[in-house]
Structure formats: structure tokens, C-alpha cells
Structure 1
Amino acid sequence: MAEMRRRTMIAAAAAVTLGAVSAACSPGPKEDAVKRHKYQYGEDPSQWGELFLPEVAAPKGVVVVIHGGYWRSQYGAELGEPLAKDLAAHGMAAWNLEYRRAGNGGGWPNTFADVLAGIDKLGELADEHGLGLDRVVALGHSAGGHLAVWAAGRRRLAGLGAPDADRQLTRRGDDDGAVQLTGVVSQSGVLNLAAAERLNLSNGAVSNFLGGSSEKYPKRHKFADPMSAVPLGVPVYAVHGTEDDTVPVSQSETYAGAAKAAGAPVQLLKVPGDHFALIDPKAPAYRKCRELVQQLLV
């Protein structure tokens, strides 16, 4: 009896192990059927996006994936690719957006113009790929979280008054090709630029990005800071890893606090994990972000 029980336990353990290995080695749901289409939205090599589409005929909304990297050129859209694949595998259309960064023609104001133009490109692609633009959600990580929340406030930009902003940054209407975001999931986003500058995050990343300090360019910094645009008219989930030592959790806390006080639909969520757990498709922290995106697309 003891020998039979021992053999049964060994067989059960082997079955569990084989199942775990099989699950780890197999792709995500329908990931092998994801279709990819790359498009330029401008002439610069960094002005492009890649559309990831699920096998289903009608995607469940559109997600704009905006990568981070403290707005610096050494970090690119490859950071967002695993997320875009995963989102498409779960039935959503995902637009993995590249943009000019500080060091390759970006920074002020080009990064901002690129993000808006990249989002607006979806208007040209909607008919071809059956995209429903009544629900367009941005998923942005780190500096990409900043750009996502900033872009969601585009209707309010004209009132912020940056003197050297061009029309691309202040366009507001729904009738001129502008695609409006209907929700944002910020993943450890840099959402309080004034505080980020004071803390000298990533060795002066904010001043490097905006071409100078807030003392030198106060209106420019105000225009670029998501804190200036609260309250937004769209829901924002500010998700932050409790072990993040790259972007302090206070960045999400102060934004969410200000937005809530102003009556905006915002929710702060602290999840276990570090800065990069939020963009690891295998991590629970990322899966929570995907769940929030799905909620916003309903």
C-alpha cells in the first residue's frame, strides 16, 4: 500500500511538472495568430506605429501602447511590443507607438506633436482594419504614462498657453481628424513633472526632455505637466509598483490626489512589483493593467 501511494504521488508530481512546463512553453491565447501592420505617420524614422490585430474580425476596442525610458532616445518601442502582442492575443487592437525622443530629434515640442499625430493616425486606419474609435485607451509606462495622461488632456491644452507651442499641440476639435482618448492606464507614470524636476529623477530627465529648467521655461513646463490639466474628462487608472525605485510612487499619489480633489474619475492602485513588473506579460502586476484596459474598453 505504501509503495502504491508513493508511485501515485510520483505520477501526480510528474503530471503537474509536465503541465507547468507545457504552459510555460506555449504561447499566450491566440498569440500565434496575431497580425502586424507597420505604418509611418511622419517622415522621420521614429514616426511610426505598429498595429497588432487579433484573429477575430472585430477587435474589442483600440489600445495605444506608449513606451517609457525617461523620454530618451536609447529606449524605444521594443519595450511596448510584448504588451501589444499580449493585448492582441486577448482580442484587442493594439497600436504600439514610436515617437521622437530627446537625443534623436524629440523633446520639446516634437515628442508631444508626435504622440498626438501618432494617435490621430488611427483615424486613417480605422476603416481598413475595422477599428472602433469610440473606445480608444492609452496604456503608458513610466515616461509613456506621462505622455498618455498628457494626451488625454488635449482638449484643455489651448488654455495652458505655452507660447512656443504649434497648432498641432493645441488642436481640440473632433472634426479635424483628432482621435480622442477615452481612458488611460498609467503604469508607474511620471505624472508630476514639477516634483520630478525637484527630485532630479534620472539625472535631470525632465529638464533634458523640455530643453531647460522650469525656471527658464515656466510656461513650457506647465503645458507639459499632467498636473496642469486636471480634472480630465476621461477615467485614469494610476497603477504603481510598490517596489519601484525608478519612478517613486509619489508621482502617482500626488497626481491621483489632485485629480480626485478636482472631481476627476481617477483611481490609484498600488500593486506588488518593481518598475518593470508592470510591462512583463507574465507578471501579475501587468495582468492587472490588462484587466483595467479591458474594463475601460467595455
Structure 2
Amino acid sequence: MKSSIKAIPPITLAVLATLLPAVNTQATPLPKGGSVVNNNVTYDDTHVSERHLASNAASSAPSNDTHANSKLHAGPQELTFTLGVTQTTPNYKDTHANEPNLSSKNASNDTHASINVNAYSNEIPRTLTQVPYSALGVLPTSPYSALGVLSTSEHDSQFSYGEDPLQTVYVWHGRGGDENEFAGDAVIFVHGGCWLNAYGYDHAKGFYHALAELGMGVYAMEYRRVGDEGGGWPGSLEDVTSAVKASIENIEATGDSGNIYLVGHSAGGHLGLLAAQQLSSSDVSESITQVIGLAAITNVQSYALGENSCQTATPQFMGGMPTENKREYQTATPDAAAIKPSVILLQGNEDSIVPEHHATMPSAKNRIITNGGHFDWLHPESTSFDALLEVMSQHDK
């Protein structure tokens, strides 16, 4: 009988070193005046070597790249940021630019203590940026019962879309009734994690819970990744495509579907875009309101040539370097023009894992979040999460 314990490959250890901050486990609140004091953190932007490699590098000229020497050095240094969201898509209204600067709601060292799991709302001031991966693990994941007691369950149901145990979709039902802004809407979510099986759907449970508290149904898929039999390219994409199709069928079978958003984060954003592209030739795509990439990797060829730990995992996913598998890399590069639903790419301009230029994909709208980090999207008190809600709220029922 095969042992269920697997040795941790070196590439997974390297990625863990990138994703888990060694010192600071708290997100950065954006205080009054737009300033933040940084203590005992060294922030190294690792994407410098990749910024000239994308096919659309002309829109990211070196003279405009503010990341080249980006570091938040250890010590009592005050750094100034501007609260708000910039945009590069013409005629795309940005309602964040004139928001007041707000301080963290809790002055203690625990930035999560003030989260009210009963009161997620699009009216909550969200001020966090540069959320570390470790901060996601302490978010609330279970709803309160009618008696005010935390439920022992997290997801409400699940279903399989294949024979492998990993081919499963976990469902969170929208809560709060019809009065919630997003009641009846649904999010089909593709999680990230450098395409590696070290990172599963469960690292974003706090994100799913927050969306459900706002009234949305959440369909969070698991799929085979690098390290799983059948995972990698193209098996991971085949799983995600099947999971998206099965989720849409499940949503429509309930008879209570408003808008359906296909949302993917990081490597999951890459797979979500490709799945939407594959499904655009079928009637299934008619059910998708919008495809949303959160720090999505849109150019795997340039990404594979980068030097951070997630970038160096790309050849494992693709089965070789771009020079060795040129045709495969071309096939694995999504084309927004070939995706039938509208596409919007949301990106933080201080993301050290996925460079900003991945959001400048032809035929897609985009939105750039000031001082936004890679994991901000998954934290319900961040400015990035606020921007995601605003994008989804723009669609009429």
C-alpha cells in the first residue's frame, strides 16, 4: 500500500519561503494622511528581472516602472502612500480616488480582532494593504447560527465533477436574505498557489465566508496541481474547465441565479481565463456575467523567465522552459479577445509575486490598486477586496 505521506519537494520549500513572511504577520492599515510606519519588515520586490519580458512591455516602459528599486527597509521609517485606485482603461469610472483616508479600526497589534463576521457589508471602511499570506489563516470561516453561536461547519455542500477526490467543488450559500446587495449572485472561484499542490482551496476560506455573508453563493473548486497525478499542464486546466462547467450547471439547477462571476487568483486567475476561453465556444459561456482576474498570471512565457519562487515553479507546471515547449506556452497564454464574457484584471501595483504588467492584457479592462499586495484580494478588510466588490456591484440584476 502506498504511503500517504509525501516528501516536500525543494520547489515547494522555496515557494513557502516567499509566501510566508518571516517576521511580520500583520497586514498594513492605511492610516490618516495616507502614511504608514513600517516596523521590522524587509520587503524585496522580486519581479524586477521580468518587467521587460512581456509582449506588452511597451506599456510598461522602464522610465515609468516604480518597482525597480522598491524596498521597505527594516527600521522606523515612514513611507507615504496614496489611498485610492488608479486605472488605465478609458471611460472606467474610479470611485475610490476621492475616498477619505481612514485609519485602522483597531489600534492593537491584532488587525483581525475588529472583524465582525455578522456584519460584512459593502459600506465597511476597508484600509488594509500588503496583507501577508499568514494573515489569511486567522480570518473567520464559519457563520453564526440564529442563536449567535459559531457553526461547526464551513462549506454548506459539495459535489464532484470527476472521479479523483481532488475533483470537488465546495459550496458556500449566500446568507442574509434578499436584502443583501449580492443576494442571488454567485462566484465560481479558482484558487492560486503557483500551480503547486502545496496550496489548496482552503487557504482562502475566509474570503469565501466573507462573500457568503454579503449574500453571494461561492463555488470554490479544488483541482489537480503539480505534484498530483494528472496535474500540471494541461491536466490542471482540464480540471478547472470541467469544474466551471459543473458549477454553472449546479447554479442554474437551483433556479436562483443572478450574476455569475468567474474569479481566479494568481495561478488560478491564469487557469480561470483559459477555462473561460475554452468554454466561449459553448452555450455555457452565456451564463457567465464577467471573468475577473485577481493578480492573474496572463503571460506564462515571460513569467517562467522570472526569478521569484513562484516564477521558477512555472517550468514544473509547463513541463519545461519556453525554449523547450514553445507551442505549449503559446497555447497556455490566454487571449481576452477570444473570451466571450467581458474580462477585467485587478492588480496591486506593489505585488511582489505577479508583476503589474500582467494586468495590461489586450482586449481586457484593468484596474490597478495603489499599494496593493498579492494576497490583499483574499482579505475582507483590504482596499483590494473593496475594489472587487465595486466591480461586481456595477452589474444590474
Conservation of the 8 A alpha-carbon contact between 2:349 and 2:373: yes
Conservation of the 8 A alpha-carbon contact between 2:336 and 2:343: no
| Matching residue of 1:113 | 238
Q: Does 1:249 align with 2:369?
A: no
Give the Å deviation of 1:71: 0.4
Structure richer in helix, relative to its length: 1
State the distance in 2 between where 1:119 and 1:297 align: 22
Unaligned stretches of 5+ residues in structure 1: 1-15, 157-171
Q: Does 1:101 align with 2:213?
A: no
Give the Å deviation of 1:295: 2.6
Q: Does 1:85 align with 2:209?
A: yes
| Matching residue of 1:72 | 196
> Structure 1 residues 25 and 87, CA, compared in 2 at 3 Å: closer, same or farther?
closer
Give the Å deviation of 1:148: 1.7
Q: Can you list the C-alpha shifts for 1:106-126, whole angstroms capped at 9, x where unaligned? A: 111210111011111124423
Q: Can you list the C-alpha shifts for 1:194-230, whole angstroms capped at 9, x where unaligned? A: 210222452522211111222222222111111x453
State the distance in 1 between where 2:119 and 2:155 align: 14
> Structure 1 residues 296 and 50, CA, compared in 2 at 3 Å: closer, same or farther?
farther
| Matching residue of 1:24 | 114
Superposition CA RMSD, Å:
3.0
State the distance in 1 between where 2:112 and 2:355 align: 37
- Give the letter aligned to residue 300 of structure 2: L
Q: Can you list the C-alpha shifts for 1:133-185, whole angstroms capped at 9, x where unaligned? A: x73212211111111222221256xxxxxxxxxxxxxxx322xx777533122
Please show how residues 1-298 of structure 1 align to structure 2 within 5 Å: 24=114, 26-29=116-119, 31-32=143-144, 36-55=156-175, 56=177, 59-105=183-229, 106-126=231-251, 129-132=254-257, 135-155=259-279, 172-174=281-283, 181-201=288-308, 202-226=310-334, 228=335, 230-253=337-360, 255=361, 259=362, 264-296=363-395, 298=397
> Structure 1 residues 154 and 25, CA, compared in 2 at 3 Å: closer, same or farther?
closer
Q: Can you list the C-alpha shifts for 1:43-64, whole angstroms capped at 9, x where unaligned? A: 2121111111123379432211
Of structures 1 and 2, the one scoring higher in RCO (CA 8 A, sep 6+) is: 2
> Structure 1 residues 272 and 219, CA, compared in 2 at 3 Å: closer, same or farther?
same
Number of residue pairs matched? 255
Conservation of the 8 A alpha-carbon contact between 2:192 and 2:264: yes
State the distance in 2 between where 1:22 and 1:152 align: 35
TM-score by length of 1: 0.75
Unaligned stretches of 5+ residues in structure 2: 1-104, 121-142, 146-153
- Give the letter aligned to residue 200 of structure 2: G
State the distance in 1 between where 2:244 and 2:232 align: 18
State the distance in 2 between where 1:64 and 1:22 align: 26
Give the Å deviation of 1:278: 1.7
State the distance in 1 between where 2:204 and 2:302 align: 26
Q: Can you list the C-alpha shifts for 1:246-279, whole angstroms capped at 9, x where unaligned? A: 11112223x2xxx1xxxx3522323332211121
Conservation of the 8 A alpha-carbon contact between 2:345 and 2:359: yes
> Structure 1 residues 243 and 265, CA, compared in 2 at 3 Å: closer, same or farther?
closer
> Structure 1 residues 188 and 113, CA, compared in 2 at 3 Å: closer, same or farther?
same
Conservation of the 8 A alpha-carbon contact between 1:67 and 1:80: yes
Identity over aligned pairs, percent: 25
Conservation of the 8 A alpha-carbon contact between 2:297 and 2:358: yes
TM-score by length of 2: 0.57
Farther off after superposition, 56-65 or 239-248: 56-65
